[in-house]
Structure 1
Amino acid sequence: MPTTREPGLLQLLYFYFIPYWLFRDVSHGDALLREQNYRYNREQRKYLPGYLLKWAILCALLLASHQLAKELAAQVPDWEQLFRAWVLLSGIGFTVGFALMANIIVAWSFLTFMH
């Protein structure tokens, strides 16, 4: 009896936060296969607003974390380097999340309004 491997934590986080696994590649195959994949992708677009909401909440938390770390760095000079690293990482995380949100908006718009 074949057994399926349970997904690990990193794979579950990928499925929860990154929507790309939902879609099929429309650049390969004959015209019929590409059209079928495009229709499938148009059906899957309904999940994109949920991913956008997740990233908007995460980005808001990262931005708040960034501000908190900046304030703590000013108030606790002994740990300033640690808080500066926190500022850097939360800023990078926010930037990556914002870029991904822009990508999700473009994908949803394309799949919704382009026929």
Structure 2
Amino acid sequence: MATTSEPGLLHLLYLYFIPYWLFRDVSHGDQLLREQNYRYNREQRKYLPGYLLKWAILCALLLASHHLAKELALQVPDWDQLFQLWALFSGISFSVGVALMSNIMVAWSFLTFMH
């Protein structure tokens, strides 16, 4: 059996949607290392607006999906529980996305305006 070093689909989705892998930890090491990591993180901040845009589009789709599921639950009462579960999942996912967008905006603002 051959081993591959190609990342799986979940790993690729993580890299595409979550920006935290781009940054280094500035809380460990001596003062010089922390300053180098902070400068590195300031250089990497240019990618954060792209991640914010991805999440804004995804959150808009999740919100539309939530409203669609609620409407379908009213239109098709036999499948009410399935559509309610769909609405619940998309609503919670939307909330998580908004929280992540807030985190991305704070990180970008901190790295841009704090010297």
TM-score w.r.t. the length of structure 2 is: 0.97
Q: What CA distance in whole angstroms lies between the structure 1 residues aligned with 2:34 and 2:108?
A: 18
2:114 alignment counterpart = 114
Aligned residues: 113
Q: CA RMSD in A?
A: 1.0
**Mean Cα displacement is larger for which, 3-12 or 59-68?**
3-12
Q: What CA distance in whole angstroms lies between the structure 2 residues aligned with 1:114 and 1:36?
A: 15
Q: What CA distance in whole angstroms lies between the structure 1 residues aligned with 2:18 and 2:65?
A: 22
Say whether residues 1:50 and 2:24 are aligned partners. no
CA-CA distance at 1:52 after TM superposition: 0.1
TM-score w.r.t. the length of structure 1 is: 0.97
2:61 alignment counterpart = 61
Unpaired runs of 5+ residues, structure 2, are none
> Identity over aligned residues, as a percent?
86
1:20 alignment counterpart = 20
Q: Give the alignment of 1:1-115 within 5 angstroms.
A: 5-115=5-115
Q: What CA distance in whole angstroms lies between the structure 2 residues aligned with 1:22 and 1:57?
A: 21
Q: What CA distance in whole angstroms lies between the structure 2 residues aligned with 1:34 and 1:90?
A: 39
CA-CA distance at 1:4 after TM superposition: 6.5
- AA aligned opposite 2:29: G
Q: What CA distance in whole angstroms lies between the structure 1 residues aligned with 2:112 and 2:34?
A: 17
Q: What CA distance in whole angstroms lies between the structure 1 residues aligned with 2:12 and 2:40?
A: 23
* Divergent runs of 4+, >6 A: none
- AA aligned opposite 1:60: A
Unpaired runs of 5+ residues, structure 1, are none
